[in-house]
Amino acid sequence: MANESYDAIVVGSGISGGWAAKELTEKGLKVLMLERGPDVKHIKDYKTATTPPWEVPHRGRDTQQQIADHPNLKRDYVLNELNLDWWAHEDESPYVEEKPFTWFRGYQVGGRSLLWGRQSYRWSDIDFEGNAKEGVAVDWPIRYKDIAPWYSYVEKFIGVSGSKDGLDVLPDGEFMPPMPMNCVEEDGAAKIKEHYKGARTWTIGRPANITEPLPGRPGCQYRSKCSLGCPFGGYFSTQASTLPAAEATGNLTLRPWSIVRRLIYDKDTKKATGVEVVDGQTNETIEYNAKIVFLCASAFNSTAILMRTATDVWPGGLGSSSGELGHNVMDHHFRLGARGSMEGYEDKYYFGRRPTGLYIPRFRNVHGDKRDYLRGFGYQGGASRSGWTRDVAELNFGAPMKDALTQPGPWGMGITAFGEILPYHENTIKFSDTVVDKWGMEALVMNAEIKDNEIKMRKDMMSDAAEMLEVAGFKDIQEYDAGYTFGQGIHEMGTARMGRDPKTSVLNGNNQVWEAKNVFVTDGACMTSASAVNPSLTYMALTARAAAFAVDELNKQNL
């Protein structure tokens, strides 16, 4: 029996895969979107989205059973009894930590688009030119002007709220009205602007939370329960945004429980002819054919598929002749900063739960500033009044403590730094010789660490935070460093980077695999450097750009 054939196969249904499916189906291609995990239906499957606190079994605290079952998730805030189904089952999908590595994976339709932090920032030429100017790794094959129209395109579709600040390090986009700062943040921002004479900026975050309605999406209701799925389509997810658009074309077939083992590669035509899939429920092996394939399986899983492909031609897999497949693992290092308290403002409060904080764009190693490390960092944070969880040690039990806790406490603010990690060739993923997953596929071995550049940067990340809080008028300032393990930023990037030369990169400037021009990799795997800025918006823009290019090439019969 002949394999089912499509015009295009998209592997993965998260932020990048959803965009690939939307763009390709809207351009008339018959698309098969493969998702390794179960389906999650918009709204219907957001089972805990409106659960009141008193129905949350352990009120948000981790049980010992959950900690035992999730040795990886337990390392951070992401272990949450309300959305545990949306993280990979760690027993079924093991990985090996040659060096400590935290890998938070979303294995279901929508992937981590359901769970993401929604911060949506444009990269700038300071990011795209950094490698070339500093002689780090290889040059990006694109510049801001190549991607800027695609940023606009995706921002208009997904909806990003934010303020236009005219900053070169954080270019403005097509924004919906910004979510406002509260009074403490606004006064702090004014003091920062005055003190640093504009060299540092506190601006409101730019989340993919919509402040105006979009088709089928009433918009943000200020519940700040985004990671449980939003019944109002308040934030961008595959389910709320790209999937309905792709389905509306009538050109999409979505197949959950479809784990792609490898691409089927024809060495004569130097193209992929399809994919080999293992059904996640039946273990049956199935092949599907297509003219083009988009790998959007999340950075390391897209690379793992390449590493299993065409091993008869290249033992290390498709793209390995560059010597860079599986190399240059990146993330954002963070979990440090400062916090302080603000006196006064006792007669001020707010209404609603704003699902974003402030953003403080990079100010190090730009505009004449020069440090003993390369690149820089940004901050996320915010001010609020403390609630009933605060410590009121000075009060006696009984009515005094109860009365105090039923009223808001003092104002405080914390900011957390997110720093750039350089692309180090020796930071790698590879296959384990011994460990396999539930479906018999080789587990990945993680071998990545931050180095001197990042360690030096972390000193500034903490002390600059404290300094700014002091300038902004905060008291009792405490620096903190909660420690970072690689991967915890949940911004894993690299391992199949874009470049200008097939000898040193896996993908070209259009996200095509050099050695298989009908294969496109548009998720985090493609990144040539990490920036300090959240990457998801860039994946979306690169995906839309690559999809337009792919269809153009198909029409010209070049693929």
Partner 1 sequence: MTMNRRDALKSVMVMMGGTMIGATAIMTGCTPENQIEGLDFDPDDIAFLDELGDTIIPETDTPGAKATGIGSFMVMMVKDTYDGDNQKEFVDGLNKLRKDFKSANGKDFVGAPAEERLAYLNKMNEEFKASGKDRSPKVINMLRDLTVLGYFSSEIGATQALNYVETPGKFDPCMPYNKGDKAYAI
Nearest one of 460, 457, 466, 461 to 339, comparing CA atoms: 466
Residues 217, 234: Cα–Cα separation, whole Å: 7
Rank residues 183 and 471 by Cβ distance to partner 1 and give the closer one. Answer: 183
Q: Is 77 in the site for partner 1 (CB under 8 A)?
A: no
Q: Which of 175, 196, 350, 480 binds partner 1 (CB under 8 A)?
A: 350
Q: Is 557 in the site for partner 1 (CB under 8 A)?
A: no
CB of 402 to partner 1, least distance (A): 5
Are 430 and 316 a contacting pair, CB within 8 Å?
no
Contacts of 59 (CB under 8 A, 6+ apart): 53
Q: Which of 182, 201, 239, 380 binds partner 1 (CB under 8 A)?
A: 182
What distance lies between CA 446 and its chain's CA centroid?
19
Contacts of 149 (CB under 8 A, 6+ apart): none
Residue with tokens 């949940």: 490
**Where in 491-530 is the site for partner 1 (CB under 8 A)?**
none
Q: Is 183 in the site for partner 1 (CB under 8 A)?
A: yes
Q: Is 61 in the site for partner 1 (CB under 8 A)?
A: yes
- What are 267's two structure tokens? 């060495």
Q: Which secondary structure element, helix H or strand E, spans residue 8, and what is its range?
A: strand 4-11
Are 377 and 362 a contacting pair, CB within 8 Å?
yes
Q: Which of 77, 215, 315, 399 binds partner 1 (CB under 8 A)?
A: 399
The CB density around residue 358, as the number of other CB atoms within 10 Å, is 21
Q: Which of 1, 2, 68, 483 binds partner 1 (CB under 8 A)?
A: 68
Q: How far apart are the first and last CA of the chain?
A: 25
- What are 74's two structure tokens? 């337990």
Residues 464, 443: Cα–Cα separation, whole Å: 40
Are 227 and 83 a contacting pair, CB within 8 Å?
yes
Residues 518, 48: Cα–Cα separation, whole Å: 41
Q: Which of 388, 425, 478, 501 binds partner 1 (CB under 8 A)?
A: 388
CB of 345 to partner 1, least distance (A): 9
Rank residues 52 and 250 by Cβ distance to partner 1 and give the closer one. Answer: 52
Q: Is 347 in the site for partner 1 (CB under 8 A)?
A: yes
Stretch that binds partner 1, among 126-134, 148-156, 347-355, 509-517 (CB under 8 A): 347-355
Rank residues 121 and 411 by Cβ distance to partner 1 and give the closer one. Answer: 411
- Interface with partner 1 (CB under 8 A), residue total 49
Stretch that binds partner 1, among 2-10, 47-55, 82-90, 93-101 (CB under 8 A): 47-55
Site string for partner 1, 236-265 (x = CB under 8 A): ------------------------------
Which residues of the shown chain bind partner 1 in the complex (CB under 8 A)? 50, 52-54, 56, 58-59, 61-65, 67-68, 179-183, 186, 221-223, 346-354, 385, 387-389, 393, 396-399, 401-403, 405-409
